Structures are given as structure tokens and as C-alpha cells.
Amino acid sequence: MKTVAQKMGIKENARTYFVNASNEAINAITLPDVEQVKTLAGEFDYIHLFVKQSDEQLDLFPKLKDHLKLNGMLWVSWPKGGQLNTDLSLPKVIKIGYEFGLVESTCLSINSTWSAIKFTHPKKGKIYNNSHAKLKSRTTNR
């Protein structure tokens, strides 16, 4: 059986950065041997943002995106089913990602509390059709 990290595509030696992640959530991911950086500086292969409210995602997402490698992934996790008084849902999380020029792909469960969705830079020439959001602008020519 695959670990959550394997399902997420996290590779060994990836340069990683976590925001608001509990030890319980990080343990549930079962990370391979990665470089966990404590300061948001430089570029990252894997960034993981845990948020409970849409205003948190709106505030932090563009700052994190600025540090995402062209082939990197920015995962966003939010509480499932309205837990922890969240105002987030899958459509809202996707809409915010698209507003800042990233597109979603894989969605999965971290544990009984947290869902997660992967955002990446859009690929050049690819059309992105999503029922929840429209890609407002391309931020790379990849």
C-alpha cells in the first residue's frame, strides 16, 4: 500500500516547506528523506500549506507561489466536511489557486481531518477547463 507521500509524488531529497502543519498531519504523510526548510527563502520542490479559512489561503498562497520551482508542487490542505470551523471547500480552494495562476490536479486525504489538493504551474499550450474556476493569467511560459 502506498504512503500519502508516495500518492502525493514527494521525492527523496526534495526541498520542502510547510506552513501551519501539525505534527499529526506531517506524520500521516510519511515523508521520505527530504530537506525540510524552516525559512521561506529560495525555491522549493514541495510546499504544503494548511489553512482553515479562505482569507488565510488568499494571503499566503501568492507568497508561497513565488517560491515554487517551475516543476514544483504547492499542496493546499483544508479541514474536511466543515471541521475546525472552516469556510473552505474544494471549489473555494481551487478558485483561489486559479486566481493566482496555478492549476490543480490530484486531490487526496491526508487523514481524518485534512484533505489536500496539488497545484502546479500550468503547462504551455494546454487548455485548462475547470467547472469551479477559470485560469485568470499564465504566470510562466513553461
CA distance 92 to 53: 10
* Per-residue pLDDT reduced to its tens digit, 32-66: 999 999 999 999 999 999 999 999 999 999 999 99
Q: What is the pLDDT of residue 62?
A: 95
Q: Which of 85, 90, 83, 81 is nearest to 117 (CA)?
A: 90
Find the mean pLDDT for residues 103-125.
93
pTM summary value: 0.92
Q: What is the pLDDT of residue 140?
A: 55
Q: What is the pLDDT of residue 128?
A: 72
Q: Are 21 and 57 in contact (CB under 8 A)?
A: no
* Per-residue pLDDT reduced to its tens digit, 7-20: 999 999 999 999 99
